[in-house]
Homo-oligomer: A and B are copies of this chain.
Amino acid sequence: MNHLLSLRDIDTSTWHALLEDAERLQGRRGIGPLPLAGRRFGMLMMNPSLRTRTSFEIACYDLGAHCVSLQPGAGLWDLETRDDVVMDGGAAEHVREAVGVLGRMVDALGVRAFAGLVDAQADLREPVLTAIARASSVPILNLESAVDHPHQGLADALTVRRRFGGRRVRVVIRWAPHVKPLPMAVPNAALYAFAREGHDVVVARPPECALDESVMASASELARAAGGTVTTHDDLERSTEGAHVVYAKSWGSAGLYGEPDANSAFLADHRSWIVDAAAMAAARPDAAFMHCLPVRRGLVVTPDVLESPTSLIFEQAAARLDVQKATLCHVVGAAVAPAAGAAPQASEETTC
């Protein structure tokens, strides 16, 4: 099954093919012979979404397909994901049936299922996404799971390729404060993505917010294979030194899961990790600022940095649309024709 579940697991040739296809598909806009005409996709969104939902739906339209957007709990039954339970609680349907049914109606299914943030080890096992992928007769696209966000990682890698012309650069993934603990799917995905690109990736965070060891180990291996490096430290003062890219993101401390008071105190103590003009000044001249959005102004980053000419936040969002098109074609096995700029052969018009 052609699932797209994790940036850790896909092979290197798929990684590069997706990014190259994203460039080729960028210009497609719902006109002419459409590569995914007649295809139907679904989105099962267990959590809120703006960019992901919009880019998925627009990508479908741009390529001729249709997308049904479904939200459990909002006009849709709550879904059970655990096996071997007597279903006498709130959930009216098991994902095995729900996903089995959807697989008879759509060609692939996008799924969003955030981390529980209660048990970090349980989150690492991706209980919901795994249950859904196992139950599905059609490919599953991960639209942010407990510990990965492949489309964000792809879009971020594409954005850096475009900005730096494919050069190897120094990317600092810098932890940022927040009002509540957030999942680690985005930093994990960014780490895998930049490692796969062979960049020099630095994870700068307070010691309490270390990413999982298995994630770090996998990223190091991916980086090594691609000719890059992964390092980590907790030195706020020197964190952006030499950076071509400052990639800000907040996430929670697994050690404080279930301790709201300690967590609030921790966050209050770490407000200085906000990315501001001084932090950017310590990086290289013209260093790019990146964030996956949504972002809390004045807490994660100052407005001046967010709105500066070197901020790539909107380029990242635009890239989401491009990579989404590539992954849609990938999971259903549609071949991708040369870039829109090139004059396509008549015979190639019906591929994507």
Evaluate contact between A318 and B92: CB separation under 8 angstroms: no
Binding site for B on A (CB under 8 A): 29-31, 37-40, 42, 45, 48-51, 53-55, 57-58, 61-62, 66, 68, 70-71, 74-77, 80, 84-89, 92-94, 96-98, 100-106, 179, 293-299, 303, 306-307, 313-314, 317-318, 321
Can you list 29 A-B pairs, Cβ within 8 angstroms, ordered by A? A30-B37, A30-B39, A30-B40, A38-B62, A40-B58, A42-B54, A45-B75, A48-B77, A50-B101, A50-B102, A53-B68, A57-B68, A58-B68, A71-B75, A74-B75, A85-B297, A86-B298, A87-B298, A92-B296, A93-B296, A94-B295, A96-B307, A97-B294, A97-B313, A101-B313, A101-B317, A103-B314, A104-B314, A104-B318
Tell me, rounded to whole Å, the shortest Cβ–Cβ distance linking A109 to chain B.
11
Task: Report how far A161 CA is from B167 CA in the complex, Å.
Answer: 62
Specify which chain B residues have a CB less than 8 angstroms from the CB of A103 in the assembled complex.
314
Chain B residues contacting A303 (CB-CB under 8 Å) are 84
Stoichiometry, copies per complex? 3
* Smallest CB separation, A267 vs chain B (Å): 9
With A45-B75, A53-B70, A68-B53 known as contacts, the answer to whether A293 contacts B101 (CB < 8 A) is yes
**Given A299-B87, A299-B88, A314 and B48 contact (CB-CB distance below 8 Å):** no
Q: Which residue of B lies closest to A103 (CB)?
A: B314
Chain B residues whose C-beta falls within 8 Å of the C-beta of A87 in the assembled complex = 296-299
Instruction: Report the nearest B residue to A57, measured CB to CB.
Output: B68
CB of A189 to closest CB in B, whole Å? 18
In the complex, what residues of B have CB within 8 A of residue A75's CB?
45, 48-49, 53, 71, 74
